[in-house]
Chains A and B, each alone.
Chain A
């Protein structure tokens, strides 16, 4: 069974919100999970893993702090959604001079859609790399070089975003549908559940209906 990209976006956004992200960052998380699916990656599983690691942690602990061009979190792993959003917001400046470095990024693959956003915004090619893998991002698409097994890295000690000088590696194919394991969907669903209010008989009637018959 495959999923629509819209389903992945919607479920991921709610799950991210359920695990404590602000609405705006949750929107970014949804788009990121969807964006990874558009290249055949398991965006939902990457997001789920992040939410497990960072469940309900304060933003200030996991958001990027800039120390002379090196971003790191105040405590533990750096959130790729918070860092990715910050990176997009700085699209025009990113990698203009020196490479941007990020320490201890959890699920670094989730940065890819944000780097794509920054490329779309600035028009400049960028290279996203960690461990032994490089992703070259241009407006035309994404090329991958190096060790693909490192894509699934749970936490990268150091991630670099630099001007993408060389276009090399295998061109990633686009996917129109998303793959998401039932268990992943169910677990994201559990986080999403936290955004839903428990029902009462009064809320059922007052919240959406009326006393008039809907069967006439």
Chain B
């Protein structure tokens, strides 16, 4: 791509526009998403992959080891497969057994390590790992697809494409733990390595190798079942399987508890969008590429399945928006001065949130040379932002609150609907949950996950306190310490704070989940309730053994031929 003429007159979007739950709940993956960043690196650095062990019997009991070799380090996915009775299968965190469990290990395991892991990884939370483990995860089979695909392959036939597309994966991960959980290595232990500097690269590598394992497993089981007739999946159909994921409320507090990281993720995408909008003149090649991407995005939207009424409505909006976008472009082809900004300004008026956010990802997509460096800004030094600036005058903090939490200061917190919910952690399995404040006796256990309400309380006490420094104020008011920290972070990091009410009666946790999962690079968000969502990861991406000879960076949208076009 030619380097486009560029200005910087158009600023990134205002956080008041971006950091609203409804909009965050319409975010789509983009080329800065973690999975995309990972595959670009694996490809450009020429990583190699090997299946070192695959010792699994016809009942699916056994283990496998997949190793990825990078320039300086090797990492191994150690997978344990389990013959799980169907009644034990659950995606909830309360489950105790899974179809498959995994760890991503730093290096290559020897027999003793595999033996140690075999006693711990299948037990997940009930086990322990050492600092050599970088992640711990598990996955369950899709009942709708797994056995069907084994049967088809065993009979020498390919599975039905429609059926594959309707589900999209053979297994879904139900938790992928990193950052020191269960004794695994802290993020800081490996974040100095270029491949793990970016956020969630460990988890995304683990999931990428998990997808390869699951596909090998289904072919292996078919072969064991019918050695004479079994066939492998046809490669292009094979790539249409992603790896699923089921995500619950546990992920929602993560975004609130990592404000600097959230800022850096959103900021990178917003700066990418602003850079594209600032292009003074585009080129025909990129316009053509964009139009193809739009057609592919329409295929993606058409293939996206959900039974949830809210999501059905959103999908309808997305499909309508994309059709309208295509019609608009037919009548008003890209060109002239600031072509992308013209399109964007039109879209802000003409399209719904789904269409706008999909367009943002689409506009960024063909501009890799212009935006890909922003991936290097997406990691966060959260420890560095922890310190409170005690010398800040109370008056300054007051004006920060007015700026960052204006909406909250205008909210009537006496209204029960404004504080209808309570975030709490359950005693059982330490599962994060959401309760109705006025129906359930859990207020005493409330987690500090409503920055807006807390900021409003702080504001009122600051007013009463008068002048002086934040240090003096906090000596008298330790109960405000957490929100003072947040507010000061909010003043420095514009996209760190969600500018919406986390405990209102209308709040939808799935909006938080979707925002986070979009930054991972997930697609096909399929809420199962207002607090639980399924997604698909790496659908249409090349497998590890295909990376060297295939495009590693063109799979967020399906190929056009999938829809027979």
Contacts and interface: CB of A to CB of B under 8 A. Distances in A.
Interface of A: 1-7, 21-25, 27-28, 31, 59, 63-64, 82, 85-86, 88-93, 117, 120-121, 176-177, 193, 195-199, 202-204, 206-212, 214-216
B484 interface: yes
Q: Which 7 A-B pairs have the closest CB atoms?
A: A24-B481, A89-B390, A210-B529, A4-B180, A207-B433, A6-B180, A89-B471
B387 A216 contact: no
30 contacts: A3-B183, A4-B185, A6-B179, A24-B479, A24-B482, A25-B481, A27-B481, A85-B478, A85-B481, A86-B471, A88-B388, A89-B388, A89-B471, A89-B474, A193-B427, A195-B425, A196-B425, A197-B424, A197-B427, A197-B444, A199-B427, A203-B435, A207-B424, A208-B92, A209-B532, A210-B529, A210-B530, A210-B531, A214-B91, A215-B143
A25 B223 CA distance: 59
B186 to A, nearest CB: 5
Contacts of A25: 478, 481
Most interface-central of A4, A27, A193 (chain B CB within 10 A): A4
Contacts of A202: 440
Contacts of A86: 471, 474-475
Nearest to B436: A206
A215 B140 contact: yes
Nearest to A211: B529
Contacts of A211: 529
Contacts of A204: 94, 426, 428
A212 B528 contact: yes
Contacts of A117: 387
A63 B475 contact: yes
Contact of A177 (B131, B448, B529): B131
B495 to A, nearest CB: 22
B464 interface: no
Nearest to B424: A197
B91 A215 contact: yes
A31 B530 CA distance: 34
Given A203-B433, A210-B528, A210-B531, A176 B186 contact: yes
A119 to B, nearest CB: 11
Contacts, number: 170
B65 interface: no
A208 B180 contact: no
Interface of B: 86, 89-94, 128, 130-131, 140, 142-144, 179-181, 183-189, 246, 248-249, 307, 383, 386-388, 390-391, 424-428, 430-435, 440, 442, 444-445, 448, 469-471, 474-475, 478-485, 528-532
A208 B390 CA distance: 38
A208 B433 contact: yes
Contacts of B179: 4, 6
A212 B483 CA distance: 37
A215 B482 contact: no
Contacts of B428: 199, 204
Contact of A24 (B140, B143, B387, B478): B478
Most interface-central of B183, B390, B478, B529 (chain A CB within 10 A): B478
A172 B89 CA distance: 49
Nearest to A197: B445
B131 A176 contact: yes
A154 B369 CA distance: 59
Contacts of A210: 528-532
A64 B475 contact: yes
A203 B427 CA distance: 11
Nearest to B95: A214
Contacts of B484: 24
Contacts of A216: 142-144
B181 A208 contact: no
B471 A214 contact: no
Contacts of A88: 387-388, 390
Contacts of A3: 183
B188 A215 contact: no
B435 A207 contact: yes
B100 to A, nearest CB: 15
A7 B183 contact: yes
Contacts of A195: 425, 445
Given A5-B188, A7-B183, A196-B445, A203 B440 contact: yes
Contact of B481 (A23, A93, A176, A198): A23
B176 to A, nearest CB: 15
Nearest to A65: B475
Contacts of B474: 24, 85-86, 89
Nearest to B477: A22
Contact of A215 (B89, B131, B187, B445): B89
Contacts of B89: 215
Nearest to B532: A210
Contacts of B442: 197, 203
Nearest to B472: A89
Contacts of A199: 426-428
B97 to A, nearest CB: 12
Contacts of B482: 22-24, 27
